[in-house]
Amino acid sequence: MTPRPVLVLTHVAHEGPGLIARALDGLPLTTRTVVDDPAARLPRVEDLAGLVVMGGPQDADDDAGHPGLAAERRLLAEAVDAGLPTLGVCLGMQLLALALGSPLHRRHGTEIGFAPVDVVAHDPLLAAAGARPTVLHWHSDAVDLPAGATLLARTDVTPVQAFRAGSAVGVQFHLEVDAGVLDLWLDTPGMVADLEPGEADAIRLGSRQHLAALRPGADLGLAAFAEQVRERA
């Protein structure tokens, strides 16, 4: 019997699943980009083993500019209702929160580069990261904690940095990034256009200081997500 695939929704070419795909190695992955499709048709939840929604520069509530976002939010809501293992990253976390009824706060506060987050609750995704890991941030929008969800991580600038809602977990920061992915981001004009002078160099330095230390915990957390997916595949 052919295993059910994991659907990976991307929003720009350079923000792929990175270490998430490595954790899901051996499982069929279907990658789709429907962000600008006004008639986006996505698979049924029952036909999937898991759902991953990646980051991007779009505002999670900009249906006028990016009409495919509405279909993504509907699928996310259905995934939570069905208990489908689901992971939302950055924009993906915001879409998950909106799908569960939370508002988006545009330009709430910019966090770009390596800085700590406070892990405030135990969860398999973050359990091996430690109480205050230094992670990669790249966002300015924020969301409220959805009703009934558990807050997992926070910063002073962004009170909701990670949360779990049943089978779904969202993270505002980027556990999926390794050195190769980060180099791609820093070589992508749209990613660096609004950085302050010297900020890209600071991020490159931060990658040498922090990515290796973050990697073991990220791998273990993503492996825990992948195990939930394998149980359903």
| Residue pLDDT, tens place only, 15-42 | 999 999 999 999 999 999 999 999 999 9
| Residue pLDDT, tens place only, 173-210 | 999 999 999 999 999 999 999 899 999 999 999 999 99
| Among 66, 111, 176, 210, the one annotated catalytic | 176
From the CB of residue 62, how many other CB atoms can be counted at a distance below 10 Å?
13
Percent of the chain with pLDDT over 70: 100
Predicted confidence (pLDDT) at residue 165 exceeds the cutoff of 90: yes
**Is residue 210 flagged as an active site residue?**
no
| Residue pLDDT, tens place only, 62-107 | 999 999 999 999 999 999 999 999 999 999 999 999 999 999 999 9
Locus of tokens 């398999």: 124
What strand order describes the sheet that includes 168-171? Answer: 29-32, 6-9, 50-53, 86-89, 168-171, 162-165, 150-154, 118-119
Nearest to 51 by CA among 19, 88, 86: 86
pLDDT given for residue 2 in this prediction? 83
| Among 15, 90, 137, 139, the one annotated catalytic | 90
| Residue pLDDT, tens place only, 43-69 | 999 999 999 999 999 999 999 999 999
Q: Is 73 helix (H, G, I), strand (E, B) or coil?
A: helix
Domains of the chain, start order: 6-231 (3.40.50.880)
pLDDT given for residue 31 in this prediction? 98
Contact between 9 and 32 under an 8 Å Cβ cutoff? The reply is yes
Across all residues in the chain, what is the average pLDDT? 97
CA distance 60 to 132: 27
Structure tokens at 194: 């609004």
pLDDT given for residue 162 in this prediction? 98
pLDDT (average), residues 136-145: 98
**Is residue 199 flagged as an active site residue?**
no
| Among 11, 137, 139, 174, the one annotated catalytic | 174
pLDDT given for residue 177 in this prediction? 97
**Is residue 11 flagged as an active site residue?**
no
Nearest to 93 by CA among 164, 190, 12, 1: 164
Predicted confidence (pLDDT) at residue 1 exceeds the cutoff of 90: no
pTM for this entry:
0.97
pLDDT given for residue 58 in this prediction? 98
